[in-house]
Amino acid sequence: MSKERQSGQFVVPGQKLGVIEEFIANQGTYVEDGVIYSKNVGHVLMDLVNKKVSVYPAARNYNVPYVGATVVGDVTGVQSSMVNVRITKVGSRFISGHFSGIIHISDVSFNYTDNIFDAYRAGDLVRAKVISDKNQIYHLSTKGENLGVLLAYCSHCGAILALRQNELKCEECGHVERRKIAQDYGKGTI
Ligand SMILES: [Zn+2]
């Protein structure tokens, strides 16, 4: 049997609670391939008499990403079709947990993104929205004017890129780069 759950335990979305052979999936849960998972951030209630498992949502001041939240993070890697982000802030709160998310190339912008490296580079500071937490993976989107890169570094020399007209230019070495920027790029707001 899997790790045993107890009433009162704190769980996050996608966390395994049990299997349908043992329990009836009640409120705050969902079933996938016979396994019961939490749908909420909250506390587990195991009703051992009626064999029901529920999750009661915690108050909305928790420090974990959730669907609909605006998050800020660092780009830790860029692959051909997606970007990895380490999430450091959820809403107005900085978090210390180890949460990461991905931005798929189709969620970068409302415009078609031909080359993801013209949108993000490792080390960029980015603001995004959580659009899904399926399978405990935070899927992020930067579609919208207020979402995207907040601060980027020159891939040649590492200096901060300055926004000049519509391009990002390195004031140290003159290199020009492209990003999917947020409208408040470089203003120091995160
Ligand atoms: Zn430079």
Boundaries of every domain in the chain: 10-57, 70-150
The answer to whether 153 and 124 have CB atoms below 8 angstroms apart is: yes
Centre of ligand 1 to C-alpha 170, Å, is 5
Q: Do domains 10-57 and 70-150 have the same CATH topology?
A: yes
Decide: helix, strand or coil at residue 107.
Answer: helix
User: What is the CB neighbour count within 10 angstroms for residue 47?
Assistant: 13
- What does the pLDDT read at residue 83? 98
- What does the pLDDT read at residue 12? 85
- Domain 10-57 class, CATH top level: mainly beta
Q: How far apart are CA 186 and CA 190, in angstroms?
A: 10
Centre of ligand 1 to C-alpha 182, Å, is 21
Centre of ligand 1 to C-alpha 137, Å, is 34
Centre of ligand 1 to C-alpha 158, Å, is 6
pLDDT tops 60 at residue 2: no
Average pLDDT, the chain: 90
Centre of ligand 1 to C-alpha 6, Å, is 54
User: In terms of CATH, what superfamily is 70-150?
Assistant: Nucleic acid-binding proteins (2.40.50.140)
Q: 112 φ, ψ to 5°? A: -70, 130
Centre of ligand 1 to C-alpha 164, Å, is 14
The answer to whether 34 and 12 have CB atoms below 8 angstroms apart is: no
- What does the pLDDT read at residue 95? 81
* pLDDT tens by residue, 132-141: 988 778 999 9
The answer to whether 181 and 169 have CB atoms below 8 angstroms apart is: no
* pLDDT tens by residue, 95-139: 866 789 999 999 999 999 999 999 999 999 999 999 998 877 899
- What does the pLDDT read at residue 189? 80
- What does the pLDDT read at residue 59? 63
Centre of ligand 1 to C-alpha 176, Å, is 8
Centre of ligand 1 to C-alpha 21, Å, is 60
Reported confidence tier of residue 169, pLDDT bands at 50, 70, 90: very high
Centre of ligand 1 to C-alpha 30, Å, is 49
pLDDT tops 90 at residue 78: yes
Determine the average pLDDT of the residues in 154-158: 93
Give the residue among 9, 28, 15, 43 at the shortest CA–CA distance from 133: 15
